[in-house]
Chains A and B, each alone.
Chain A
Amino acid sequence: GAVVSQHPSWVICKSGTSVKIECRSLDFQATTMFWYRQFPKQSLMLMATSNEGSKATYEQGVEKDKFLINHASLTLSTLTVTSAHPEDSSFYICSASHPLGEGRDTQYFGPGTRLTVL
Chain B
Amino acid sequence: GQNIDQPTEMTATEGAIVQINCTYQTSGFNGLFWYQQHAGEAPTFLSYNVLDGLEEKGRFSSFLSRSKGYSYLLLKELQMKDSASYLCAVSGGSYIPTFGRGTSLIVHP
**Contacts from A to B (Cβ < 8 Å):** 6, 34, 41-44, 46, 49, 91, 93, 100, 104-112, 114
Contacts and interface: CB of A to CB of B under 8 A. Distances in A.
B42 A34 contact: no
Given A104-B31, A104-B50, A106-B33, A46 B44 contact: no
A112 B42 contact: yes
A56 B51 CA distance: 31
A42 B101 contact: yes
A46 B102 contact: no
Contacts of A43: 87, 99-102
A109 B31 contact: no
A41 to B, nearest CB: 8
A43 B87 CA distance: 8
B96 A44 contact: no
Given A34-B96, A49-B96, A104-B31, A44 B87 contact: yes
B48 A44 contact: no
20 contacts: A41-B104, A43-B100, A43-B101, A43-B102, A44-B99, A46-B99, A91-B40, A100-B48, A104-B30, A104-B48, A104-B50, A105-B95, A106-B33, A106-B45, A109-B35, A109-B42, A111-B41, A111-B42, A112-B42, A114-B40
B92 interface: no
Contacts, number: 43
Tell me if A's interface is mostly helix, strand, loop or mixed.
strand
Contacts of A111: 41-42
B97 interface: yes
Contacts of A107: 33, 45, 97
A109 B101 contact: no
A43 B6 CA distance: 11
Nearest to A105: B95
Given A107-B45, A109-B43, A111-B41, A46 B96 contact: yes
Contacts of B31: 104
A34 B99 CA distance: 13
Contacts of B98: 46
